[in-house]
Amino acid sequence: MTAAVVVEGPVFEVSGFACAAAEVPGSGGHGGCDWVPVAHCDAGAAWSEDYVSSLRSASERIFQNDAIKYSAKEYKIELKPLFSAFEFRTFAMTTLRSFLLFYLPLLEPRTNLEEDDDDFLQDTNEEQHVDYVAPFKKSVKQICRETTVVTTRRILERMAVHYVSDRLAWKLLKDVPKSATRKASRGLPTYVFFFRVTRTTFRGHFLGVAASWIVQVTIEIYRFFTRMIHSKEEGEEVETTEQVKNLGKKISATTVRCGASLIFASIGAGIGAALFRPSAGQWIGCAVGDLAGPFIVSSCIERVFHLEI
């Protein structure tokens, strides 16, 4: 009696001797064993083309899904040009803002309701001289200060890219209004959204405040040495200890104002993004907090501690 063994499904390709026959124990025959033929499916070509291709495509889909699900986050760092402050649009806005800041007060009408009629006629007959040179000088200084701050920030950004991790550099250089818009699309609770926008604004606004602090402290140190040299040239006695104390007070005041600007700008950005549109609200809140923070802190310190900042 003979039996045939049929192998179903794909069979791996093996050597010819193994594929020809298989020796299995049986009854009768030469030496007590029969040579039993084994039905073999030589699926080498079909398996290598169809089965392997399907298996490969399936594995690729699995690996792609796993890569999308578990892949590390990519940090896209986009550096702005080093001299972006001198681009036409930016420089034009800086110039316009600086001249309006110092020339608008000159356009205010000067009236005095308590004057007598004779004094009023006398004042109208006299030509009132308006000094336009001093506001012009102040405007030029303001333009130089703002462009220096922006350029210093670009330098700090490049230092951050080279000397800190990619993750931290990405957080410092992140576009905060766009980040607020992305956070708003996640459907976060209001307090969580406020906290995250505040934290992101604090990181994104840090380099700008640091650049402003560096420029202001450098100006104060330059004025300190200029006064010292000028006093020695004129033969005046200068109290070095007193001058150093004044310099320390000015640096401390600058540090407090910059810190208040950073904190209030971050809080204002969180409030603006939570109450209004995420992108515009964040930008407006950051600008308002940046301007109001130093003024509020200075007023509180002057009233409570009777110190001038």
The crossing angle, in degrees rounded to 10, of helices 278-304 and 176-184 is 120
Q: Report the alpha-carbon distance of residue 31 to residue 215 in Å, rounded.
A: 103
Tell me the pLDDT of the chain (309 aa) as tens digits: 444 444 444 444 444 444 444 444 444 444 444 444 444 444 444 444 555 555 555 555 544 554 444 445 666 788 889 999 999 999 999 999 999 888 887 776 554 444 444 554 455 444 557 778 888 999 999 999 999 999 999 999 999 999 999 899 999 999 999 999 999 998 889 999 999 999 999 999 999 999 999 999 999 999 999 988 888 777 777 778 888 999 999 999 999 999 999 999 999 999 999 998 899 999 999 999 999 998 898 888 877 766 666
Give the SS3 label for residue 306.
coil
Residues 6+ away with beta carbon under 8 Å from 27: 1, 34
Q: State how far the Cα of 60 lies from the Cα of 20, in Å rounded to an integer.
A: 36
Q: pTM value?
A: 0.70
Q: Give CA–CA dist 178/52, Å, rounded.
A: 46
Tokens 């792609």 belong to residue? 64
Longest CA span, the chain = 149
pLDDT of residue 110: 54
- Coil/strand/helix, residue 185: coil
